[in-house]
């Protein structure tokens, strides 16, 4: 998923995504939630810290 697609899915601008990725802008909670929801809808699973630190993986779509 590219910046444009993520921005559209999260209802935020591509510029906002770019600034978050660069670290030049601190994301607001509502924007982070919208981005997370868009990524989860696309199949990303967020993994809580489990001794090795937090992470992400793609959801198993075989089932």
Per the model's pLDDT, the better-predicted residue between 9 and 48 turns out to be 9
Token pair recorded at residue 48:
């809580």
Band of pLDDT at residue 47, cut at 50, 70 and 90: confident
Q: Return d(Cα 36, Cα 1) in angstroms, integer.
A: 13
Determine the pLDDT at residue 51. Answer: 64
Determine the pLDDT at residue 59. Answer: 78
User: Which tens digits make up the pLDDT trace of 13-44?
Assistant: 999 999 999 999 998 999 999 999 999 999 98
* Host H or E run for residue 48: none
Q: Which sequence spans correspond to the domains of the chain? A: 3-58
Q: What is the pTM of this model?
A: 0.79
Instruction: Kindly tell me if the per-residue pLDDT of 50 is higher than 90.
Output: no
CATH number for region 3-58: 1.10.260.40
């Amino acid at each position: 998923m590219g910046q444009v697609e993520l921005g559209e899915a999260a209802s935020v601008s591509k510029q906002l995504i770019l600034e978050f990725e660069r670290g030049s802008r601190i994301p607001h909670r509502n924007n982070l939630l919208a981005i997370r929801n868009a990524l989860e809808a696309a199949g990303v699973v967020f993994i809580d810290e489990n001794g090795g630190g937090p992470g992400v993986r793609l959801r198993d779509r075989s089932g």
